[in-house]
Structures are given as C-alpha cells and as structure tokens.
Amino acid sequence: MDKSGKPACEICLKRLGAGKPDDNYGNGRAHTTCRRHKERDSSWDPLAPTASSPAQRSHKKRDLSPPPLPGQNAASSALLLLSSQSSFSTHGWQLHPPSLVTAGLAYRWFCLYLRARRIDSAWFSLRGNASQLDARKEISAIGAEQHRLSLLGPTIAAFRRLLHGHGIQTAGLHVAALKLLRSAPGQGQQPVHYDVTRYSDAVQRYAVLMYCTQTMSTAVPRLDAATMRPAFTDGEELTAAQQADAEQLCAEDNFLSFPVLPGATLVFPTSTPHFGVRNPASVDRVALYALFSPSDESGQDDTQRFPLGVTDD
C-alpha cells in the first residue's frame, strides 16, 4: 500500500492502476514493466539515485520563437537599459522597440524608398550629406504613388497612438511634415540642433522617427530635460555665459545613440536637442520623420536652431 492506503507496486512503490493487469510479485503485486526489469537484472533498483537530469514536466511549453535577427540581442538589451533609465516625461524622448505594426510599416516604407531612390528631383540635401523626400507629395515613379498613398493612413494612425501613449492629445495636431530620410554609408553626422527655432513653439510640437533599416539611432540627451533647458536660447546671439552653458550641455558625451532594428521609433517634443549620427552600415540608412503640430502651416521645420552657433543654410 502507498501512503494513502492504495495498492502500490512492491518494486517501485508507485500506485497501481485500477483494473490494470499487474502481475504478482512475491507476496503482493508489481507493475509488469518493473517485473520484467527485475527479471533481466536482479540488481535493478528503481529507487536508487542516478546522475541523470531531473525529469521535465510533460506539459511545459517549448520555446517556439524564431531565432533573433542579427543585432537584435544588442538592440533589445540597449532598449531595456534605456527604458529603466530614461522616459519621455523626464528626458524629453523615448525610444520604442519595433512592434508588429511598426515593423511592417518600416518594411513597406523601405520598399517605397527603393522605388523612389533614383528620382533625383524628389530628394533635397540636408546637413551631413543626408537627403530627404517629402512623403506628403506625389511621387512620379511607376507604382510608387499608389504605394505612398496606401501607407499614409496606417502610418499616421500608428504615430498618433505612440504620442497618445505619452499622454499627448493628438486630436488637435496636424501632420506638418512627413519625410523619408536617407544617409549613405559613413554619412549622416549632424550638429546638435532643435527642429523648431522658438521654444514656445517647440514645446507644442512633437516628432516621431521610425527607422526603416537596422542602424544606430538619432543621438538624444542623457541628461534630463530640465538640465538641458538652458541650451535652447531665445535668439541666435549668445552671451558668454550662454555659450559656455551650450558648449557644456551639448558636448557629444552628453548624448546617447542606441542600436535599433527596423520598426523602432523615437518620440520627442521638438524642444529636445538631438543629432543624426554617422551611418555605420554598408548600405543606406532610411528613416521616416513626422512632425505633429497645432498648426498646419508647411515648412515649420525648414529652419532649425543650432545651440552651438551653427546657422541653417
């Protein structure tokens, strides 16, 4: 008998199944399998300790997730560290890992880039030997325009959800800019800048960057927004004290850049200083930039503010 008084095997001491054809063993009964083991090897003892690993639970789920993409572990680790140290409310930016939606959108925007990359007239030069394409305008390439139109609604909706997740009321915000950005290998390094020139305007406008290729993210402050605030001055002419503050706050080692996968998104108010880093890949870096503003006036980000005294061309 086992501890509960039920019939048990006299060899392995496990409970006998009701109605099973168990065999007699000695003065009691035993499992057929146990009896046969004992007949083949009289020294066999099922209760003896073994060096084998413990049995696994049969109902435990197997990990069926696909293997990580190249660089995914590094990117995920960086984002985990990032989320524990920085946030939209304290530092004025947040980097989100790819979701199923944004990863799909990033792939489709990259495909649009492939269709439009050779239309020289559609691209305009930026600092750092980068260039941009206005994604709100018609693209004169076979299949490209229908492709572009199919992306506008889902992309803007996804970006609004990201902003809403940070407590931003997007109902009154217009899409003031939507641009494809590209940087050739080794290019794309920019000076620290703000996308809008006046602070009172900048705090009411928000940017979303979605990376369409695996790359390094735009560099953002490691210091909190309150600490960085003096770098955004009211005018281009700086006093000696303001210049000293700007040089200290906007030093390159005060900014962070993270490895990102296609579909990762960076969200920040335009009062946050940032800069594009050099493209480390052997292929073009492609990203999508959106500016959300209470005004629908075009060209709101055409002139930028450079806290270290660089003027926009």
Cα–Cα distance measured from residue 180 to residue 302, given in angstroms and rounded to the nearest whole number: 15
Sign, Cα dihedral of 63, 68, 73, 79: negative
Nearest to 276 by CA among 142, 183, 202, 173: 183
Check whether residue 138 and residue 224 sit in a common domain: yes
The domain of 31 spans: 1-47
Q: Return the CATH number at 78.
A: 2.60.120.620
Beta-sheet pairing, 285-293 with 174-183: antiparallel
Closest among 63, 144, 158, 80 to 133, alpha carbons compared: 144
Asked whether residue 154 is assigned to any structural domain, the reply reads yes
Looking at the fold, whether 28 and 173 belong to one and the same domain comes out as: no
Structural domains counted in the chain: 2
In a domain, 61, yes or no: no
Within a domain: 54: no
Do 12 and 86 sit in the same domain of this protein? no
User: Is 221 found in the same domain as 174?
Assistant: yes
> In Å, what is the CA distance from 71 to each residue of 76, 117, 242, 261, 262?
9, 26, 40, 8, 11
Same domain (yes/no): 208, 120? yes
Look at the pTM and tell me if it is higher than 0.85: no
pLDDT digits (tens), the chain, 313 positions: 555 666 777 667 676 665 544 545 444 567 777 777 667 766 656 555 444 444 444 444 444 333 344 444 555 555 555 544 557 889 999 999 999 999 999 999 999 999 999 888 889 888 767 899 999 999 988 889 999 999 999 999 999 999 999 999 999 999 999 999 999 999 999 999 999 999 999 999 999 999 999 999 999 999 999 999 999 987 777 788 888 988 999 999 999 999 999 999 999 999 999 999 999 999 999 999 999 999 988 888 888 888 886 644 4
**Residues in Cβ contact with 111 at an 8 Å cutoff, skipping those fewer than 6 apart:** 147
Residue 301 in any domain: the answer is: no
In this structure, the answer to whether residues 146 and 231 fall within a common structural domain is yes
Domain identity same for 217 and 182: yes
